[in-house]
């Protein structure tokens, strides 16, 4: 085969390879989804010591007078919510959030309105967390993903509070992985 | 080698050019602007090639604005598959090492499209990177056709791979000058450049054929 012809074949072959790679690369598209959210999962766990000395952990249904965050007027949970875990939104505009858990001191009954009256304990509990915020544009039309990682438990007035996962993620909810566990 | 003759691998010409796509982006694109120059040195059937570019990239959306400004360069070598062509046309493939340096900044609303309910009032936040560095390699192929005298038109296709970006603390850069979008799903990208270039010969190019017969320059004289 003449050398020129062989070279043109090599050149065409090389281009076919490059175009194939181009097609492959062009077909890789970024999904408009994010595993991150800004919800801190706080689980309430009852720890019972069994006769054999082992500790049994079980979810503990809990009611609060209110659960709020410093700098936010919203009440995330109130007396009507009975749950063993809370989804608490951390501040997306900062790297520190302090949550206030107001406890129910006592419950009365108003016979006129036929409703329970909840009395607040004057001493609330707090849990404060810090975290690292990261941003990225997923794709042009999809916008920004904000990730919350390196979660640190800064302060807790509950007696036993454990940091279990340092990443705020939708996957935590699916896998029942709490970020923070409060043991009673 | 006789006195006065030059060696086969002595550079015979310098070709300098620019990507006219700059004008197209300037006129029709609000997102992207760039200016890219290319120079190559003709050494027998090889070329030593260098590119230098300036880049700006801007995205404006309801929930964010992103700005990216920087420079990039590429260096590498091409092999000419048409090195026997007396008209000095070029069909090449080659490799490049490329690097970029850039600044970028992002202003965004905390209630984004994929985080519409944060449980907090929406606010605008800012994040930025200074002096980010990136590097990658390229496999390239293309042609340079001599259209009139020493003026060439051509294009280069690039497969960019092995991208590496210096770690950013907070904001992941979305765009890398000279490379393209810095998406999570891949470390490779595809690129394309047109070039208009002008060849500045240092001397007559000797074209070596089989059997050591030589053709000098473009006229095909033996």
Q: Looking at the partner chain, which of B63, B141, B189 has a beta carbon nearest the beta carbon of A144?
A: B63
Whether the predicted model's global pTM rises above the 0.90 cut: no
Measured distance CA(B167)–CA(B172) in Å, rounded: 8
What are the sequence ranges of the domains in chain B? Answer: 13-216
How far are the Cα atoms of A26, B161, B192 from residue A13, in angstroms, in the given order?
20, 20, 18
Q: How confident is residue B26, by pLDDT bands cut at 50, 70 and 90? A: confident
Fold of B13-216: Porin (2.40.160)
Task: Yes or no: say if A28 and B185 are a contact pair by the CB < 8 Å rule.
Answer: yes
Tokens of A120: 């607040």
Report the candidate in A156, A128, A137, A135 with the shortest Cα–Cα distance to residue A40. Answer: A128
Q: How confident is residue A114, by pLDDT bands cut at 50, 70 and 90? A: confident
Q: Do A37 and B174 touch (CB under 8 A)?
A: no
Residue contacts between A and B (CB atoms, under 8 Å): 116
What are the sequence ranges of the domains in chain A? Answer: 1-30, 39-183
Residue B114 has pLDDT above 50, yes or no: yes
pLDDT in tens, A11-44: 666 666 656 665 655 555 667 888 898 999 999 9
Chain A, residues 38-97, CB within 8 A of chain B, namely 38-39, 69, 72, 74, 76, 89, 91-93
DSSP E strands: which ranges in B61-205? 64-80, 90-109, 124-148, 151-165, 175-176, 180-181, 189-201
Sign of torsion over alpha carbons B75, B77, B80, B84: positive
Q: Tokens 């120059």 label which residue? A: B37
The average confidence (pLDDT) of chain B is 87
Measured distance CA(A39)–CA(B87) in Å, rounded: 68
User: What local confidence, expressed as pLDDT, does residue B220 receive?
Assistant: 38
């Amino acid at each position: 085969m003449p050398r020129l012809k062989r070279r043109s074949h090599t050149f065409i072959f090389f281009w076919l390879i490059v175009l194939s790679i181009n097609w492959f690369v062009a077909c890789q598209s970024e999904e408009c989804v994010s595993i991150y959210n800004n919800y801190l999962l706080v689980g309430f766990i009852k720890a019972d010591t069994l006769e054999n000395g082992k500790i049994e952990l079980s979810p503990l249904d809990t009611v609060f007078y209110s659960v709020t965050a410093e700098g936010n007027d919203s009440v995330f949970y109130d007396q009507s919510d009975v749950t063993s875990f809370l989804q608490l939104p951390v501040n997306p505009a900062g790297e520190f959030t302090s949550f206030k858990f107001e406890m129910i001191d006592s419950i009365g009954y108003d016979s006129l309105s036929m409703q329970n009256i909840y009395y607040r304990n004057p001493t609330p509990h707090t849990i404060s967390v810090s975290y690292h915020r990261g941003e990225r544009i997923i794709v042009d039309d999809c916008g920004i993903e904000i990730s919350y990682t390196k979660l640190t438990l800064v302060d807790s007035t509950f007696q036993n509070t454990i940091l279990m996962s340092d990443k705020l993620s939708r996957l935590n909810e699916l896998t029942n992985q709490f970020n923070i566990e409060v043991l009673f | 080698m006789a006195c006065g003759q030059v060696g086969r691998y002595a550079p015979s010409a310098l070709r300098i050019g620019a990507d006219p796509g700059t004008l197209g982006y300037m006129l029709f694109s609000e997102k992207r602007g760039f200016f890219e120059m290319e120079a190559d040195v003709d050494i027998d059937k090889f070329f030593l090639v260098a590119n230098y570019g300036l880049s700006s990239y801007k995205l404006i959306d309801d929930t964010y604005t992103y700005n990216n400004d920087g420079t990039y360069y590429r260096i590498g070598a091409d092999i000419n598959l048409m090195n026997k062509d007396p008209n000095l046309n070029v069909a090449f493939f080659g490799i490049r090492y490329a690097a970029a340096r850039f600044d970028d900044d992002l202003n965004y609303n905390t209630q984004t499209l994929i985080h519409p309910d944060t449980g907090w009032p929406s606010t605008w936040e800012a994040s930025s990177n200074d002096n980010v560095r990136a590097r990658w390699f390229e496999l390239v192929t293309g042609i340079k056709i001599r259209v009139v005298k020493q003026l060439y038109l051509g294009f280069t296709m690039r497969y960019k791979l092995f991208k590496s970006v210096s770690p950013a603390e907070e904001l992941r850069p979305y765009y890398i000058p000279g490379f393209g979008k810095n998406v999570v799903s891949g470390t490779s990208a595809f690129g394309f450049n047109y070039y208009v270039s002008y060849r500045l010969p240092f001397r007559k190019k000797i074209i070596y054929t089989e059997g050591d017969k030589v053709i000098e320059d473009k006229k095909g004289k033996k």
